């Protein structure tokens, strides 16, 4: 089950956190994995880890907000691999702020990476998927519930859900499935860095506080998110398209 052999996968933001876990799992399951990340060294380290474990992976430095660069990268991948069957739009950035404290620069930066970046990859890759494929976009619980101080971030993740539904509808007849998932808090290096920067000396206390916002009592681990991505991109999920899956420890339904 969940065998992805003989498939080519492009994973954006694959150099750390959730993207790293997805990249390693996909390589383990047999994909020819292309790891795209703004930080090429991070992507290279993950690719090396995948190869050392017996997988097939390559690293490419790529700014997903730059459409021309994305097109060139995708064209080079197709020239090497012949086709693309799987796309995971995982690259994204976060921001803390209300509408009043979000500057125009903040807003445009979030829009460029989290929305335009997804669009750029869809625009460049779908033409090579006309024989069928699966797309997974990374949304967030912020697209479904009102989180404090997440104005711009929530806006971008709502757009991701909208794009997911549109792609699923427009390309269903061509055998392309498109879904998204909405994680709650996931324990990644980003979270640790955020806590250490904003709550020096109170790291343990804040980590526990943030963990308990999920009814299940903890944050998710990146590999748990990666396994849901694997399922939705696999042939076992061939009847699923146009869905947004919460993976949130009960956050949306059980928080009162």
- Looking at 38, 128, 153, 171, which residue is catalytic? 153
Would you say 17 and 222 are in contact if contact means Cβ atoms under 8 Å apart?
yes
By the 10 Å C-beta count (0-12 exposed, 13-18 middle, 19+ buried), 5 is classed as exposed
Task: Write the DSSP symbol of residue 184.
Answer: -
> For the chain, where are the E strands, in sequence order?
8-12, 32-37, 56-61, 86-89, 133-138, 176-183, 244-247
At 182, list the tokens. Answer: 């909405």
State yes or no: is 153 an active-site residue: yes
Going by C-beta distance under 8 Å and a sequence separation of 6 or more, which residues neighbour residue 152? Answer: 95, 97, 102, 106, 107, 110, 111
- Active site amino acids: 153
């Amino acid at each position: 089950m969940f065998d992805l052999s003989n498939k080519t996968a492009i994973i954006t933001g694959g150099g750390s956190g959730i993207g790293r876990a997805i990249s390693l799992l996909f390589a383990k399951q047999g994909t020819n994995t292309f790891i795209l990340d703004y930080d090429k060294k991070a992507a290279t380290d993950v690719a090396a880890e995948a190869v050392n474990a017996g997988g097939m992976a390559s690293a490419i430095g790529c700014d997903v907000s730059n459409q021309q660069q994305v097109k060139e990268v995708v064209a080079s991948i197709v020239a090497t691999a012949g086709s693309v069957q799987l796309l995971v739009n995982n690259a994204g950035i976060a921001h803390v702020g209300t509408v009043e404290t979000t500057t125009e620069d903040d807003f445009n930066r979030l829009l460029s990476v989290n929305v335009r970046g997804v669009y750029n990859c869809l625009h460049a890759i779908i033409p090579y998927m006309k024989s069928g494929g699966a797309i997974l976009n990374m949304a967030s619980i912020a697209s479904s519930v009102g989180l404090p101080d997440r104005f711009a971030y929530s806006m971008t993740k709502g757009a991701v859900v909208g794009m997911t539904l549109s792609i699923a509808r427009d390309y269903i007849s061509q055998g392309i499935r498109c879904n998204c998932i909405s994680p709650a808090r996931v324990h990644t290096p980003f979270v640790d860095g955020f806590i250490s920067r904003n709550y020096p000396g109170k790291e343990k206390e804040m980590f526990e506080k943030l963990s308990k916002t999920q009814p299940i009592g903890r944050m998710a681990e990146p590999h748990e998110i990666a396994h849901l991505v694997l399922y939705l991109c696999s042939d076992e999920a061939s009847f699923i398209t146009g869905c947004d899956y919460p993976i949130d420890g009960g956050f949306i339904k059980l928080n009162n």
